[in-house]
């Protein structure tokens, strides 16, 4: 079991460029989440999904889009990157709802110049 | 709104010292409470959790009790080791008005010296 994996590990973008972050889990979990982690601010929920084909907004969704076409994958897109999106992005999954343990990926470090 | 407040770090202790990391929360309803740990270069891992008032979560010598009267979930360990050096996050989760909420504290860095 690989658990939760994230691709890429590190990326540098110029302002206005687009990119997609991939999250994959092999635990057959229903729920998946995208967070960003910034110094002094902890983790903030960007978007989440409660099952294949569903997505919902979290605390800080602006500037991001997501898709969950397959149960095991959850994609996070930045259509036009901004320096304010420089952060470390973590994906997580849970078997079911919010009382369950979240399993986190190793993170993607994104730098937007 | 809902929030989680943790003590500022870093916390620096000698090996075998007693650890307390304070966490208080503000939330309506009945949230579940968690402690996660993050080692350098890695994602977060669940350390322990409690889903209702007076529950005690425990794991690897760490403990925390869900205190609704003081809205607290303080993390404790009787004797820390160098390998406990990491960043610790307190978090809450709840389902309200058809939406899931996960709220994390800002993290507390622990350094344990040999």
Quick: pLDDT tens for A48-83. Answer: 999 999 999 988 999 999 999 999 999 999 999 999
pLDDT band at residue B29 under the 50/70/90 scheme: confident
Contact A82, A15 (CB under 8 A): yes
DSSP B84: G
- Average pLDDT across chain B, whole number: 93
Share of chain A above pLDDT 70, in %: 98
Give the mean model confidence (pLDDT) for residues A86-91: 96
Structure tokens at B108: 């507390």
Structure tokens at B25: 């929360």
pLDDT band at residue A41 under the 50/70/90 scheme: confident
Question: Nearest-5° angle of CA B32, CA B110, CA B12?
Answer: 140
Structure tokens at B10: 């870093």
Predicted local confidence at residue B99, as pLDDT: 73
Q: How many CB pairs under 8 A join A and B?
A: 59
Window B:8-37, CB contacts with A under 8 Å: 32, 34, 36
B42/A contact by beta carbon, under 8 A: yes
Q: Which of A2, A24, A26, A1 is nearest to A91 (CA)?
A: A24
């Amino acid at each position: 079991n690989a658990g939760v994996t994230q691709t890429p590990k590190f990326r540098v973008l110029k302002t206005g460029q687009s990119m997609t972050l991939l999250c994959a889990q092999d635990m057959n979990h229903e729920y998946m989440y995208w967070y960003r982690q910034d110094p002094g601010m902890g983790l903030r929920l960007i978007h989440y999904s409660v099952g294949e084909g569903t997505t919902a907004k979290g605390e800080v969704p602006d500037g991001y889009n997501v898709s969950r076409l397959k149960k095991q994958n959850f994609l996070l897109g930045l259509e036009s990157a901004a320096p304010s999106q420089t952060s470390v992005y973590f994906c997580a999954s849970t078997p079911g709802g919010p009382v369950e343990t979240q399993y986190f990926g190793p993170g993607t470090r994104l730098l937007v110049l | 709104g809902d929030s989680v407040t943790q003590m500022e770090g870093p916390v620096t202790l000698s090996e075998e010292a007693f650890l307390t990391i304070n966490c208080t929360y503000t939330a309506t309803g009945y949230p579940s409470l968690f402690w996660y740990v993050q080692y350098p270069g890695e994602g977060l891992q669940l350390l322990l959790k409690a889903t209702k008032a007076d529950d005690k979560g425990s794991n690897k010598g760490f403990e925390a009790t869900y205190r609704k009267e003081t809205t607290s979930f303080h993390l404790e360990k009787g004797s820390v080791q160098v390998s406990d050096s990491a960043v610790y996050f307190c978090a809450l989760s709840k389902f309200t008005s058809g939406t899931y909420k996960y709220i994390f504290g800002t993290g507390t860095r622990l350094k344990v010296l040999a």
